[in-house]
């Protein structure tokens, strides 16, 4: 998307970019929100304190995404591998969506945000599902930012699931092997109908994908920062967007 927007004034920073303009905003930003545990440990707090703080940052980054005119924000909130964590931490993480929505849903509605999820939704605890389903229903007609939580999401699981669905549809003659192509395959993924992420951000210094959107990130620009997720803010987000704007995307061409 090529557009010029006035860059809003940030309260959190006095960097030079505030008074300039911004072009080529990524349509779709995906974020691996990493480092909550380390943030808490550094402060002598339990890991869940990092997740709680991380939840507040989610709200700030959603707000900033709307201001920046990002269309889709996909946040990796819980992976299929995160079930390996201690039970108490999992329980806390599963309560966070409800808490987040309890506090912020009215504000999100007012800001025209639509809420959706990708991942194995059915396998989530009932209370988590209920809170999210309520928010999905309440925001389904909104046409502002799509806030897409990857919850109980794993990319390999998603791909296998897609293959199984495709095989069933081939069996039922809904599609044929001959016409199966990348576009059709994409329609069997959780991200069906969404454009691929233009920009992937990962916080906390780790530089890996951790089973996140393996298919969808084929041509995405990656941006890594050492900042831990609870310390991530609008100003750092701006830096990621400005960096993205310097990139030349060639999609294999010249």
226: annotated active-site residue: no
- Residue 34 as a binder of ligand FPP (CB under 6 A): the answer is yes
Q: Rg of the chain's alpha carbons, rounded to an integer?
A: 19
Closest residue to ligand FPP in the complex (CB): 37
- Residue 98 as a binder of ligand FPP (CB under 6 A): the answer is no
- Residue 82 as a binder of ligand FPP (CB under 6 A): the answer is yes
- How many Å apart are CA 229 and CA 135, to the nearest integer? 24
34: annotated active-site residue: yes
202 among annotated binding-site residues: yes
- How many Å apart are CA 240 and CA 13, to the nearest integer? 14
- Residue 37 as a binder of ligand FPP (CB under 6 A): the answer is yes
Nearest to 29 by CA among 245, 250, 176, 205: 245
Residue from the set 26, 48, 49, 54 that interacts with ligand FPP by CB under 6 A: 54
- How many Å apart are CA 56 and CA 226, to the nearest integer? 19
- Contact (CB, 8 A) for 96 and 55: yes
Q: How many residues does the chain have?
A: 254
186 among annotated binding-site residues: no
Binding window for ligand FPP (CB under 6 A); candidates: 52-60, 134-142, 152-160, 174-182? 52-60
Using DSSP, state whether 185 is helix, strand or coil. Answer: helix
- Residue 35 as a binder of ligand FPP (CB under 6 A): the answer is yes
Residue from the set 22, 29, 36, 201 that interacts with ligand FPP by CB under 6 A: 36
- How many Å apart are CA 97 and CA 85, to the nearest integer? 18
- How many Å apart are CA 134 and CA 95, to the nearest integer? 15
Q: From the candidates 18, 24, 34, 122, give the one annotated as an active-site residue.
A: 34
230 phi/psi in degrees, rounded to 5: -65, -15
Q: From the candidates 18, 24, 27, 82, give the one annotated as an active-site residue.
A: 82
- Residue 38 as a binder of ligand FPP (CB under 6 A): the answer is yes
- How many Å apart are CA 78 and CA 123, to the nearest integer? 12
- How many Å apart are CA 199 and CA 203, to the nearest integer? 13
- Residue 225 as a binder of ligand FPP (CB under 6 A): the answer is no
Residue from the set 25, 29, 30, 58 that interacts with ligand FPP by CB under 6 A: 58
Residue from the set 22, 70, 73, 96 that interacts with ligand FPP by CB under 6 A: 96
Using DSSP, state whether 156 is helix, strand or coil. Answer: helix
Catalytic residue set: 34, 82
- Binding-site residues for Mg(2+): 34, 221
Chain residues in the site for ligand FPP (CB under 6 A): 33-38, 51, 54-55, 58, 77, 82, 93, 96-97, 100, 149, 204, 229
- Binding-site residues for substrate: 35-39, 47, 51, 79-81, 83, 85, 202, 208-210
């Amino acid at each position: 998307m090529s557009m010029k927007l006035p860059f809003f004034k940030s309260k959190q920073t006095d960097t030079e970019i505030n008074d300039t303009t911004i072009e080529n905003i990524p349509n779709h930003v995906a974020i691996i929100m990493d480092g909550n545990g380390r943030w808490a440990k550094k402060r002598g707090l339990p890991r869940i304190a990092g997740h709680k703080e991380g939840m507040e940052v989610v709200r700030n980054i959603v707000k900033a995404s709307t201001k920046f005119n990002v269309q889709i924000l996909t946040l990796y909130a819980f992976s299929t591998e995160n079930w390996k964590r201690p039970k108490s931490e999992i329980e806390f993480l599963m309560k966070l969506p409800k808490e987040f929505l309890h506090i912020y849903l009215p504000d999100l509605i007012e800001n025209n945000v639509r809420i959706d999820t990708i991942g194995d939704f059915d396998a989530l605890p009932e209370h988590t599902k209920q809170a999210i389903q309520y928010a999905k229903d309440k925001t389904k007609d909104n046409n502002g930012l799509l806030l897409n939580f990857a919850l109980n999401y794993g990319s390999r699981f998603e791909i296998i699931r897609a293959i199984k669905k495709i095989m069933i549809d081939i069996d039922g003659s809904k599609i044929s092997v001959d016409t199966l192509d990348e576009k059709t395959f994409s329609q069997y993924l959780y991200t069906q109908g969404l454009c691929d992420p233009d920009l992937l951000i990962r916080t906390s210094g780790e530089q890996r994908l951790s089973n996140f959107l393996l298919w969808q990130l084929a041509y995405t620009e990656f941006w890594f920062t050492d900042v831990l997720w609870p310390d991530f803010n609008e100003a750092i987000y701006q830096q990621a967007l400005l960096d993205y704007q310097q990139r030349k995307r060639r999609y294999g061409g010249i």
